[in-house]
Structure 1
């Protein structure tokens, strides 16, 4: 029950945070800093998703405790995405794979963030069960949310 309450609270926070109007970067320097910070969040997400994918595919030894740790980190990072994508950098020439759609379609982007928050919470719950099949399915759910966001909001 506590996990569910935390997920609901996090979802409400995410909707409120991303529902606010994005701020445009005031200069190239501001856009570069905002981009660096945004990319840091996604880099950390990737560093936690990689081992999960490896475990799900049998390339890394399966460890439910490590799954739980990575799931918690992904969940926590998902709650930061809205903050670190609030600065619209699209008016400046910064090196990024982020599509302008992040700021043009804030409701759709917010939904993707919420999906990741929910999927990572589900993975945390599955990890506690110790059921390898259930955990692998939940890892797939997190991976699906990542891929869906990449499809919609990240340049190839």
Structure 2
């Protein structure tokens, strides 16, 4: 019974930590956090670019690239909650992140989870060698990116 209680408390703490945001304590900390977020998103962009080009037919479908990029996107998506945990909205720093990210953490987390799920689906399609599923799976990844950008990225 004691183990169950400890497990329940630990789970609740982890879930709560993932949904709540901590405010940056200084402009320097906020700027640093924004730079790390931008670096993470640059890595996402670099992996999505080739996938988008394949979906449009601009470059040939390549199973190895699809699988590699999907794996990377999955890993990067799992880092996003950590990199967006620090609320930098009260500081005047260069960022395209809208304050809504920290005002509605649960929705933001749902959108990040959609990227994780879409990346896993794309990786699965690549591993199966199912070319007919590539475009649809790439489309799901791009749709998940758009869903987050539409809500949480400044124009």
Q: 4+ residue runs of structure 1 moved beyond 3 angstroms?
A: 17-20
In the alignment, is the contact (CA less than 8 A) between 1:17 and 1:82 conserved in 2? Answer: no
TM-score for both structures, normalised by structure 2: 0.88
Matched residues in 2 for 1:16 and 1:70: separation?
28
Superposed counterparts of 1:18-57, under 5 Å:
19-57=18-56
**Any idea what the Cα deviations from partners look like across 1:101-132, whole Å, max 9, x if unmatched?**
00000010010011111110000001112122
Moved more, 139-148 or 20-29: 20-29
**1:132 matched residue in structure 2:** 131
Superposed counterparts of 1:104-123, under 5 Å:
104-123=103-122
Unaligned runs of 5+ in 1: 1-11
Matched residues in 1 for 2:71 and 2:17: separation?
21
TM-score for both structures, normalised by structure 1: 0.88
In the alignment, is the contact (CA less than 8 A) between 2:18 and 2:81 conserved in 1? Answer: no
Higher relative contact order (CA 8 A, sep 6+): 1
Q: What SS class does the counterpart of residue 98 from structure 1 fall into?
A: coil
**2:68 matched residue in structure 1:** 69
After TM superposition, give the deviation of residue 29 of structure 1 in Å: 0.5
**2:15 matched residue in structure 1:** 16
In the alignment, is the contact (CA less than 8 A) between 2:19 and 2:109 conserved in 1? Answer: no
Q: How many residues align?
A: 143
Query: Aligned-pair RMSD on alpha carbons?
Result: 1.5
Larger radius of gyration: 2
In the alignment, is the contact (CA less than 8 A) between 1:18 and 1:107 conserved in 2? Answer: no
